[in-house]
Structure 1
Amino acid sequence: MRSTTLRPALLALCLSVPTLQLSAQTFKLPPITFTGAPAFSQADLLKVSGLQPGATATQADVQAAAQHLSDTGLFSDIRFESNATGLVYDLKPMPPEHLLRASFTNFVWWSPTELTTALKARVPLYTGVVPTAGNLQDTIASALKAMVAEKGTTASIVAIPHSAQPGATPSSIAFKIESPAVRVQTITLIHASPAMQPRLDSVIKDQTNQPFDTTTTHTSITTALTSAYHDAGYLDMAVLNLTQAPPQVTPNGIDLAFTATLSEGQPYQLFQLNWPGSDIISTADFYKQAKMKPGDMASEAALRQSLSIIAGAYFAKGFQDAKVKAPATFDHLGHHVSYTITVDPGPQYHIHSVKALGLSAEQQKQFDSAWHMNPGDFYDTTYLTNFLHNNSALQSLAGYSATYNASSDPDTHLVDLTITFAKGGVLN
C-alpha cells in the first residue's frame, strides 16, 4: 500500500496505489473516507472533492479531488491512500491564525442566523470562518450574489479584511454589498412630542441617507435619539422598539425605512451640582464657569461641558490620567436630579524632553522663544493645542502643519514630547 501527499504549494504529484490499479485507465471508485478534519461533514468534503463512490475515475481525478480540497485554503496538508476500507484522504486543517471570522455588513433581507444557515446550505465546508488564502472567499461571495439576485437585485459583492483597531492585524473578513448602495432612507418616530421635534429633525437628517450596517446602524440611531433627549433633560427617555421595514429596491439603491417607538418621560431640572473643590480648582472657580446652575434643564451636554472644566484644570497640572465622575441622584417624583463630582487624579506627569522636528535654524529659534513648557514642568495636555492655535510669534511657520507624539512612562511619570512640522496645511 502506498500513499500520496498533496500540499497547497505542490501541484505536480505522482501516485501509485496497486490496490486501485490507478493509471491513465479508468477504474471504479471504492468507498471514500476523510479523516483528520471532524469539523467538516463527510458529505460536504465529498461534494468539494468532486468524486462519487461507485463512479468511474482516473488517477488524475483522484489527484484533482485533493487539489479541490486544497484550493479552499482550509487545509495545510492533504494525504491520500488506498487501503482495505477504500480510498482515504487524511486532512490537516489550516492553523487558526490563517482563519478569520466571517461577518456580513449589509445583507438586509436576512438576520445573522438566517444568513449563516443559508450559506452553510449553499457553500460546502463553510463553518463561519474564512481562510486568508484559497477560493472559499470567492465561493461565499458568489453564493451571496446569487441569494441577493433571488431578491431581485444584481449586486456587486466584496470581501474586506477588518481590524478592531486601525493598523492592527485583521480579525475578520467582512462581506458587503458594494453596489447598489444600501441606505437608511426614512426614520419615523412614534410618540415624539412637538416640543422635541426641532431636535429630532436634526437627528433624522444626520441619520438618513447613510450607509446601512448590520452591526452599527440600529445602535447609531438609538444612541442619537437618546442623546438628543438626554441633552434636553429627558433623562428617563428610552427607545422602546426600533423596527426595520422590508427593503425597497429602487433605481438608485436599496432603501430602508425605520420606525422608532419612544417613551419620552418628563424633563428633569438640576437640583444640585456638587463640587467640594480641590487644590487644582476651587469650588468658587468651578461654579463661575459651570455650564448648568440649579433650576436649569438637566442637560447631559451641559453636564459634560461642566465636567470638562474640572478635567481641563487637572490636565493642565500634569494629571493626564485624571478621571472625573458625577453619579446622579434622582428625585423621580419631583423630576429633579443632583450630581456629586469626584476626581481620581492619578499620578502627576512632568516633561522629560521636547523635540521639534522639521524646522530650519530660524524656525527653531522662533519656536524656542515662544515655547514655554520645558523639562521639569507639568505636562499640560492642552498647552500644545493652544500654542499652535494661538501663538502669532511663529511667522516663519505659516503654511505648515504639525503632528505630535507624547510618550509617557507610567513608572517614572515622565513625558517625551516630539512635535513634527511639515509644509502644507494649517498650523494646528
Structure 2
Amino acid sequence: MLFSFYLLIVPERFAAAQTHPAERRLGSMRVTGQKHYSEQQILAASGLHKDDPFNDNALNAATQRLGQTGAFEQVSFRYRFAGERAEVEFLVKEAGKFHRCSFGNFIWGDPRELEERLRREVPLYDGQAPESGGMLDEIAASLERYLKTKGVAGTVEQTRIGALNDANWDHLFLVKGPRIKIQSVAFQGRQAVEEAVLQREAKPLIGRNYSLMDCMLFGQGTLVPFYRERGYLRMRIEEPLAKVLQHVEGSNDYTMEIAYRLTEGIAYRWEPAEWTGNRVLSAGELDKMTKMKPGEVAGEKKIAQGWETIAQMYAGKGYVAARLKAEPVFDDTAATVHFRVTILEGAQYRMGKFEVDGASEALEKRLRGKWRLQSGEIFDGGSVKEYMQAAFRPGALASAEGAGRVSVETHLNEENLTVDVLLHVQQ
C-alpha cells in the first residue's frame, strides 16, 4: 500500500513588527522531486493559488490533499518570506507505479470530450492513475458528473483488468445501470475485404451486452487473425468507437453501434526464408517443412505451423532445447515477405531415467513396459505425448486398471545431456 508523509518545515521567524500575519499572502510556488507529473499539474492539485492568504493550515491541507491522491509516497513543504509574500516549495516523491485508465462502456459523446473533462476536473489525470488512493475516487466522481450532463442514470465502479500476474494491468471504469446492446458493427478503413464477409465474421457481437474490453478482444482475436490469414501480416486495428443508435426516453435501455478502425496494409506473398545456424537440417529440408511455396499467400497460421513442424523435427532428433527466431522482411513494392530465421540447435539429448510413482507394483511394471526409449538412446521430444496418448486413452491397459489422475514431468540434465521422465499416478 502506498503511504505519505506530511512534514511542515518552519522557517526562521522575522521580527513581529516586520509584517502583520493578516497581510501575508502566497507568492511564488514551485515543486521539486517530480518525474511523472509537471509542476503545473501538482500545483493545480494542491488547491493553492498565488495571492491566496497565507497560513500554515492552508499549506498543511494542501500537502494532505496531494498525499491522499495516492500519486505520492512523500510530500513535504518549506517556505520563506520575501516581504509579505511567502515563497513555497513542495518536495515530493511520486508513487512507484501508474496504470492506464480505460472506460469500459462509456458510449455517450466523443471520447475526446471525456478525456478533456477528466484532465480539467482532475489535475493529476493524464490517462493514467496510481494503483490506489483518492485520485481514483476523483475520476469516478468526475465521470458521474459527466453522465448527468448526458442524462444518463448510472453509477461508476472501478476495477482492475489485465492478464494473470501481469504487473501492467489497467484501471477499468464501468457504468452500472444502463443496459447497452450492440445492434450493428461498422468497419472504417475497409478496402480489400468485402463488407458482407466482415459482417459475417462480426455476427457473434450482434445482440450482446456492450463491453469495450470484449469488443477489443474480439477485434484482436477474430478480425486481426482473419486478415493475417489472408496475407495482411501488418494489419492493425485501433480501439473501437461506440455510438448510441437508439434510446427510449425515460428508459435505461440503449442500442448502439461498434465501429472498428482498420489499417489493412498489404497482402503479402511468400518468398523462401533465409536460414542461419542450422547444421542438423539443410536449408532445403527446412524449406520443405514450412510447406510454403514461392508466391503463395503468406497466411500467418500456416507460417506458424511451419515453425512448429521444424521445432518438432529437431525435438524428435534429440535437440529438445532447440530454439527458432524468425524475423519478417517485408518488400512493400513487390508485396512479398521472407523471413530471416536463426536456429539455435543446442546439444543433442539422450534418454535418462524413466520413473513411476503412485502406482501399484503391477501397474508400474506395465507402465514401464510401454515406454519405448531405452536409457542412452537419442531422446525423441515427441515420445512423451505419444506415450500418454497410447497408455491412457479410454480402454487402454493403464486406463482400465484404474490409473486415475496422471501427470508427467521431464527434466533436462544439462551436465550429462540426458532427459529424465517422471510419471505421477494417483489410483
Q: Same fold (TM over 0.5)?
A: yes
In the TM superposition, what whole-angstrom CA distance separates every residue of 1:99-142 from its partner, at most 9, and x where no partner exists? 22323253556888765544221112334443334322222233
Rounded to whole Å, the distance in 2 between the matches of 1:128 and 1:150 is: 21
Q: Is the 8 A contact 2:68 2:134 kept in 1?
A: yes
The residue that corresponds to 1:101 in the other structure is 99
Rounded to whole Å, the distance in 2 between the matches of 1:340 and 1:125 is: 45
Q: Please give the residue correspondences for 1:261-272 in structure 2 after superposition, counting only pairs within 5 Å.
A: none
The residue that corresponds to 1:390 in the other structure is 390
Deviation at 1:346, TM superposition (A): 1.2
Rounded to whole Å, the distance in 1 between the matches of 2:420 and 2:129 is: 43
Rounded to whole Å, the distance in 1 between the matches of 2:70 and 2:199 is: 50
The residue that corresponds to 1:347 in the other structure is 346
Letter in 2 for 1:393: L
Rounded to whole Å, the distance in 2 between the matches of 1:183 and 1:376 is: 63
Rounded to whole Å, the distance in 1 between the matches of 2:426 and 2:15 is: 72
Deviation at 1:79, TM superposition (A): 3.2
Deviation at 1:69, TM superposition (A): 2.0
Cα distance change of structure 1 residues 370 and 186 upon mapping to structure 2, 3 Å threshold: farther
The residue that corresponds to 1:30 in the other structure is 25
Rounded to whole Å, the distance in 1 between the matches of 2:116 and 2:65 is: 23
Cα distance change of structure 1 residues 308 and 94 upon mapping to structure 2, 3 Å threshold: same
Q: Please give the residue correspondences for 1:107-186 in structure 2 after superposition, counting only pairs within 5 Å.
A: 107=106, 116-153=115-152, 154-160=154-160, 162=162, 166-168=164-166, 170-177=167-174, 179=176, 185-186=183-184
SS of residue in 2 equivalent to 1:101? strand
SS of residue in 1 equivalent to 2:243? coil
Root-mean-square deviation (CA, aligned residues, Å) is 5.7
**Greater displacement, 204-213 / 140-149:** 204-213
The residue that corresponds to 1:3 in the other structure is none
The residue that corresponds to 2:60 in the other structure is 63
Number of residues paired by the alignment? 394
Q: Is the 8 A contact 1:161 1:172 kept in 2?
A: yes
In the TM superposition, what whole-angstrom CA distance separates every residue of 1:137-173 from its partner, at most 9, and x where no partner exists? 222233234334434442533141646xx424x2353
SS of residue in 2 equivalent to 1:314? helix
Letter in 2 for 1:8: S
Rounded to whole Å, the distance in 2 between the matches of 1:167 and 1:300 is: 28
In the TM superposition, what whole-angstrom CA distance separates every residue of 1:204-253 from its partner, at most 9, and x where no partner exists? 235654743386565555413314545xxxx7997999984634476566
Q: Please give the residue correspondences for 1:252-331 in structure 2 after superposition, counting only pairs within 5 Å.
A: 255-258=256-259, 301=301, 305=305, 308-320=308-320, 321-323=322-324
Rounded to whole Å, the distance in 2 between the matches of 1:41 and 1:338 is: 48
SS of residue in 1 equivalent to 2:172? strand
Rounded to whole Å, the distance in 1 between the matches of 2:93 and 2:377 is: 54
Q: Is the 8 A contact 1:184 1:207 kept in 2?
A: yes
Letter in 2 for 1:171: N
Rounded to whole Å, the distance in 1 between the matches of 2:42 and 2:327 is: 57
Letter in 2 for 1:67: Q
Q: Which one of the candidate residues 77, 80, 84 is aligned to 2:81?
A: 84
Q: Which one of the candidate residues 402, 405, 408 is aligned to 1:400?
A: 405
**Identity, % of aligned positions:** 16
Gaps of 5+ in 2: none
Q: Is the 8 A contact 2:5 2:73 kept in 1?
A: no
Q: Is the 8 A contact 1:370 1:393 kept in 2?
A: no
Deviation at 1:387, TM superposition (A): 2.5
Cα distance change of structure 1 residues 381 and 123 upon mapping to structure 2, 3 Å threshold: farther
Deviation at 1:31, TM superposition (A): 0.9
Deviation at 1:91, TM superposition (A): 3.5
In the TM superposition, what whole-angstrom CA distance separates every residue of 1:163-195 from its partner, at most 9, and x where no partner exists? 6xx424x2353333264577765335666778x
Q: Is the 8 A contact 1:158 1:178 kept in 2?
A: no
Q: Is the 8 A contact 1:79 1:91 kept in 2?
A: yes
Cα distance change of structure 1 residues 291 and 369 upon mapping to structure 2, 3 Å threshold: same
Deviation at 1:421, TM superposition (A): 5.5
Cα distance change of structure 1 residues 318 and 294 upon mapping to structure 2, 3 Å threshold: same
TM-score, reference length from structure 1: 0.63
SS of residue in 2 equivalent to 1:246? strand
